Structure 1
Amino acid sequence: MFAQQLVNGVLLGATYALFALGFTLMFGVLRVINLTYGFYFSAGAFIALFLTRQAGFGIWAALPVAAMGAGAVAVALDWLLLSRLRRVNAPELSSLMVTLGGVLALYSAATSILGPDIRRLPPDLVASDAFVLAGLRVTTAQLLILLATAVMVGALMALMRGTRLGLAIRAMAEKPDAAGLMGIDTGRLAALVSFISGCLAGAGGVLIGLNFNAIHPYMGEAMMLRGFVVIIVGGLGDIRGALIAGLLLGVIEVFTAGYVASGLKEAVAFAILVVVLWTRPSGLFGRAVVRRA
């Protein structure tokens, strides 16, 4: 029982980590808490729902297309809501309030158009077979989630650490003004970061929709709490920390639901957030910033 719960927690945490990676990348590079990020999660799930139900796509084709669709939504919303604020160097509170208003409008519009009902992916999209290894039961959908998450996380790490583009992104994250003076097109790079972050969120929406087989417009709203927990526990802007914290949160939620009460999962996530802010505001893997007069 314990080992099975641990496996389930790691698989759930992998999806949380995928969602939070885009969130922490966006914050780390663009220095903005973009509250529309949860909408990209919902957008990816609904795009995959349309592709699989109406266009006849399989899950392997629908997943990358839905992720890129969510990335395109992210670029459009970044240009519409945040690009002007970046040009005038508006304070961080301005972007927070703009994206708060934006996400409320987006969720309301999505609910009016799509309705509040829960939608489900086609039942034959993924084989219902389960594999038993050393007494542990793993479904085909769970293996798909783990494989897709591993591929996308590996690709992001390779991009950030092994390419000139990744070097430019890291330079912009450290010193955006200096990066601009060195010839880096910070406007285009900001759009690219938004696209990558949107792709990760959209892919997370597809995988969560596949895991729980429940898609609705507000599904991204619940994930935002977990996203905040993961990036704060892992360290603001720290990709490695977001990955580890996402896995830990998934394991803790599964054990809470299995051994305590399923209704306490969100309470436990909030409690972790509060304790980390009290004891280590920079996160488990973040670096404290020393401010000098």
Structure 2
Amino acid sequence: MPPMAEPRTRQFVTPEGVDLRLELAGVGERAAAFLLDLIILMLVLIAFTIAALFVLVGTGPAGGQAMAAIWLLGFFLLRNFYFTAFELGTRGATIGKRVLKMRVVARNGGRLSGHAVVARNAMRELEFFLPLSFFAYESSQGLADFATAGAGLLWSGVFVLFPFFNRDHMRVGDLIAGTWVARQPRRTLRAAVVERQAAPLYSFTDAQLGAYGEFELQKLEEVLRRGDELAMIVVARTIRTRIGWTGAQGDELPFLQAYYAALCTRLERNMLFGQRRRDKHAQG
């Protein structure tokens, strides 16, 4: 019998103690997402180049040299800020990863930090863009001999093949930054029309609402404002566990919105009677 494929599900225990059991993205999925991002980068770069040509038309050789310098600088800034800016966002993913339902997460279960995102994307320069730029430059100068081409291919090959030789399919950048690229956790979706016409799906007892106070209400509001899907999944599961929720296990956003509204109403009503609860540890 052929050996069974290694499962790609990993424990992902958040600081709240919730295990999301994330499924890691495969090498093919990651390559496809990277290819989509490269296509987007090239389209933006082409548009930028055309705009710059219109500005520099008729300037002669000096303009051509300036154009080359601007193009190289623009390409450097674009490729670095594109990946970093999108992965620092609430979704932790570039456009290519979003299309393929993936995101970058911290392997320790915590929030994805800025220095981790910068580190993993800085390594992409060494893994891919630096040897590619060097090879392109040598080719333009007519100096690309067999040894130069071989060295560039060997350099890129070591990094390109690295994800195939570790069980978590990590790039060198992931290894250094302490990150995974995981498939987006599944969320249950419903028809919005049916939900609007139906009776409220979520209702809570006074005991369930009494599990939290004002501090937790503020934190829940921050999560809802950010719209981070992973954070909403974690918070929804944490609340369900704490209050012993046995009702519908639906989409996290409606559940959190319903609980936020109900908790807010309860806290405001109690304050009218002089009963204020600052957090879940206070009596109330």
Between structures 1 and 2, the one with greater helix share = 1
Q: TM-score scaled to structure 1, two decimals?
A: 0.24
Q: Between Structure 1 and Structure 2, whose CA radius of gyration is higher?
A: 2
Q: TM-score scaled to structure 2, two decimals?
A: 0.25
Q: Larger relative CO (CA 8 A, sep 6+): 1 or 2?
A: 1
